Structure 1
Amino acid sequence: MDPSMKPPAWLNKEYFYHALSGFNKPQVTILNYKISPGLGVGQNFCSRVYKVNVIYREDGQKNKEKNLFIKMPIEEGEILNVINDARFYESEVLMYTELFPTMEKLVGKLDFVVQTYPSKEEYTLIFEDVSKEGYVMGEKEKRLDFKHCKEALKILAKFHASTVALNKQSPDLVASVGEPVFKKRDQRSNSFMEEKFEDFYDIIQTWKGYERYVNIIKESTEQLWERLEETFSRRETINVLNHGDFWTHNILFKHNTEGEIEKVKLIDYQMCVYGSIGIDIHYFTWTSMQHTVQANRLPELYLIYLKALNQYLREFQCVERVTEEEFKKEMEFTQFYAIFTMVYNCNVMYSPKYISPDDENKSSRDYKKQLSFKICNGEFFKPNIDQGLKYLEKNGFFRR
């Protein structure tokens, strides 16, 4: 195991005993356990994750096996410039311990939620390892084809609709996790995001054929926080609890023997934000969809989402409905988030590795500019923003 992934000392037999004997289950005896890294480099940017195979016995019965997935806060990395805030991790704990149980009492079983187990460590979550059931994570470089985008958006619609029902019953619960992660707070987090925009502004000026986009990137850089605040403002049409990080690596698919999608689960609820439905949809579009899908099938996919949203709102006995015209306005109102996602989020997602704060050279501004230059000129970032800028241009964003 990589020394940087060495598990903490508290991840031991006593910890797993507490997890498996919780929720009033029979007395258990932990016989053996094996810990391994949960994900590879670049598959999770905000947490340390481990897979654990536990052999145990309940009340003297035959040996049983449980496969778990342990998720805990990271201790170093460039992304800490933004998420060095307890609320970031607390929000996900609240989602699993309070919001989802309340939502299921209101609307029934939410099959996209992964089962959890009690954890005695603060901000650490224990999940069922659903990879053993056949669930797989997509590859960020390959992105998602039409059929996977379709099923993902239908599940997103179910999640959104269930949060509308929850907000009617328990608005305080929604408010407890719904504050935006990306907002103007302290200088450290501000400068990190501002630097990404400043770097891209410098880079796009070197790209031939992109001259017409330079001014809009300049304005986006100068007005970053004002435009984000506008994007996150509450809407009169409908407000939902957005997942906030709805992209390829946080959507798990289970396929049958013919390769058809049977089930979908969502993970990583650390960045939830209460507001327009456009927030999640723009984010998903520009982080996860294949470029041919972006270019040719967005209207079809958006209509699939809208129909599913209204269907689930009806099923969950919510009076709200969203018309096609209202949906179009929501997407237009939140278009800046498409720019933000393409420039900032995709820059982070396609970063080759964490930048350790212990490495003075790699923490320097010059190094970070070089890294941004490498990412933005790379085979994954540039085609995506090329497609996105053309889409926004076609939809009148640059005429504002």
Structure 2
Amino acid sequence: MSCVDVQTQFNIITQEAVNTIIRNYGYHNKENANYYVQKASDKMLGFLADYWKLKVHLPSNNGTNKVLCFFIKAVSQNASKADMVREMKLFDKEINFYTIIKKKIELEGVKPWSPKLVSTLKEAIVFEDLNALGYNSRNKFKTFDEAHAKQALQMLARFHASSIIYEQKNKKTLKEEFAVYLDKGGYHDSNVWFLQCMQGALAAVKKFSKYIEVEQLISIIERRWKYIWNSALDLSNVLPESCSVVCHRDLWNNNILFHYKQTDGGLVPDDCVMVDFQAVRCQPPAGDVMLLLYCNLDPKFREHNEDNFLRFYYKQLELILADRSIKIDIILSLESFLKSAENQRLWALIVSACLVPQFWLDDDLTADIFCDAEQFNDILSNNKASFIIKMIESNTNYREKVMQIFEEIVDRYCLV
């Protein structure tokens, strides 16, 4: 099922735009090359944008063509999605991240943690095509194993180290430098989307959780629910006298892409990058780390390996900083980081409770539901509880996945 009118979307990519993209990519005097645009995938790669692939054929002197591959992220033709993106200025935020923040903090000699921005068009952003470079997202129904988790944590360490090194080098805080570009986005106590996520999760707890037979417990959960969710939002602020970095804050499966190498044991991940920087904000680095673990690991696997993964991330961060003659203990001790990770657990749980019910769906069903403007608007802005309840009633795997998250919120924070 197509989410957009193909002919309408083709109008974004004109010959003039292609000429600009080619020049920005380093190929001059190659104007009016042949090009081809197609949908990036039959699957729904994200919730608020449309995605396209651009291939440009450059003739060479020996008569063969060189093919340049690009990935295009465009404001959706779905009216409800487009309204939300424009209202929250999400494209502006991502463009500012790439053209201002990333440009200042990225480090020479450190492997990339994101794709290269090539060009910005009217309501569209053009990147290098990661798929053409061998990067792919993992099947969202396959949680990360140890190898994938460690590659992702290494990538986060590279990303977060960039912020720390920038502050140390320039003797100014990220908050001072970039505050105007780093708002709370959808994670605000008056944001309709966040309120719908909170109310939908509570409705599921009251109808399907292990506590429904005890009226007194449900009453306690109801009284504390809003306070717990809003407390998570406070954790997304820059905390006094704490180490804060530019955090991604949207680390679900489709935003993390892996590169693989062939070994005797088969394909193994050897690199990782992330995409979609519309939710970035300054926050303690443990916020990203815990969100990565909560969104992408099986709960039992996460619990068993959590301390190991936290220490692994910290060691990777330490090595990168040491390479720049920065002692991590001065910035963030291991004890402080582990304590911060425990504090940021609530943030990770609440964000997972917002994200997982939206993406833990079959791709065809996701397209059917979220490509329809009326349904999208109803689910995201009016009645997410009905959507979650309907999905729980019709899909056992969905029920198990989302209720694990909702019940952990209750167990850790409501009934203590």
Q: Shorter-chain TM-score: what band? A: 0.7 to 0.9
Is residue 65 of structure 1 aligned with residue 29 of structure 2?
Answer: no
Equivalence for 2:139: 139
Equivalence for 1:179: 183
Equivalence for 1:94: 96
Secondary structure at 2:12 match in 1? coil
Equivalence for 2:401: 384
Q: 2:243 aligns with which of 238, 253, 267?
A: 238
Equivalence for 2:196: 195
8 Å contact 2:284–2:340 — kept in the other structure? yes
Q: For residues 393 and 298 of structure 1, do their structure 2 counterparts lie closer, same or farther at Cα, with a shift above 3 Å needed?
A: farther
Q: Distance in 2 between matches of 1:309 and 1:206?
A: 43
**CA deviation profile, 1:238-289 (whole Å, cap 9, x unmatched):** 1111111122211111111221222212211111110112321232122211
Q: Distance in 2 between matches of 1:397 and 1:359?
A: 32
- Percent identity reads 17
Q: Distance in 1 between matches of 2:122 and 2:57?
A: 24
Equivalence for 2:157: 157
Residue 176 of structure 1 deviates from its aligned partner by 3.9
8 Å contact 1:54–1:65 — kept in the other structure? yes
Is residue 31 of structure 1 aligned with residue 33 of structure 2?
Answer: yes
Question: 384-393 or 37-46, which moves further after superposition?
Answer: 384-393
**CA deviation profile, 1:274-305 (whole Å, cap 9, x unmatched):** 01123212321222113442242122111111
Secondary structure at 1:21 match in 2? helix
- Matched residue pairs, number? 394
Q: For residues 366 and 387 of structure 1, do their structure 2 counterparts lie closer, same or farther at Cα, with a shift above 3 Å needed?
A: closer
Q: Distance in 2 between matches of 1:136 and 1:23?
A: 22
Q: 2:276 aligns with which of 268, 271, 274?
A: 268
8 Å contact 1:174–1:241 — kept in the other structure? no
**CA deviation profile, 1:39-63 (whole Å, cap 9, x unmatched):** 3443211221101111124799853
**CA deviation profile, 1:210-248 (whole Å, cap 9, x unmatched):** 358746753554226641442122232311111111222
Q: For residues 271 and 18 of structure 1, do their structure 2 counterparts lie closer, same or farther at Cα, with a shift above 3 Å needed?
A: same
- Per the normalisation by structure 1, the TM-score is 0.85
8 Å contact 1:30–1:57 — kept in the other structure? no
Q: For residues 297 and 82 of structure 1, do their structure 2 counterparts lie closer, same or farther at Cα, with a shift above 3 Å needed?
A: farther
Q: Distance in 2 between matches of 1:360 and 1:331?
A: 34
Equivalence for 2:345: 335
Residue 138 of structure 1 deviates from its aligned partner by 0.9
Is residue 374 of structure 1 aligned with residue 390 of structure 2?
Answer: yes
**CA deviation profile, 1:15-66 (whole Å, cap 9, x unmatched):** 1111102366421133322211113443211221101111124799853211
**CA deviation profile, 1:104-153 (whole Å, cap 9, x unmatched):** 3x55444223222123x245221111212221111111222121011101
Secondary structure at 1:233 match in 2? coil
Equivalence for 1:249: 254
Q: Distance in 2 between matches of 1:267 and 1:310?
A: 24
Q: For residues 384 and 350 of structure 1, do their structure 2 counterparts lie closer, same or farther at Cα, with a shift above 3 Å needed?
A: closer
8 Å contact 1:194–1:224 — kept in the other structure? no
Secondary structure at 1:42 match in 2? coil
Secondary structure at 1:28 match in 2? coil
Q: Distance in 2 between matches of 1:20 and 1:301?
A: 41
Equivalence for 1:12: 14
Greater percentage in helix? 2
Residue 81 of structure 1 deviates from its aligned partner by 7.7
Q: Distance in 1 between matches of 2:92 and 2:220?
A: 36
Q: Distance in 2 between matches of 1:23 and 1:365?
A: 39
Equivalence for 2:370: 354
Could you say what the CA RMSD is over the residues aligned between the two structures, in angstroms?
Answer: 3.3
Unmatched segments (≥5 aa) in structure 1: none
Secondary structure at 1:205 match in 2? helix
Which residue identity lines up with residue 297 of structure 1 in the other structure? N
Q: Distance in 2 between matches of 1:360 and 1:25?
A: 41
Q: Distance in 2 between matches of 1:155 and 1:304?
A: 12
Equivalence for 1:227: 231
Equivalence for 1:288: 296
Residue 307 of structure 1 deviates from its aligned partner by 1.3
Equivalence for 2:115: 114
Secondary structure at 1:174 match in 2? helix
Q: 1:304 aligns with which of 299, 302, 312?
A: 312
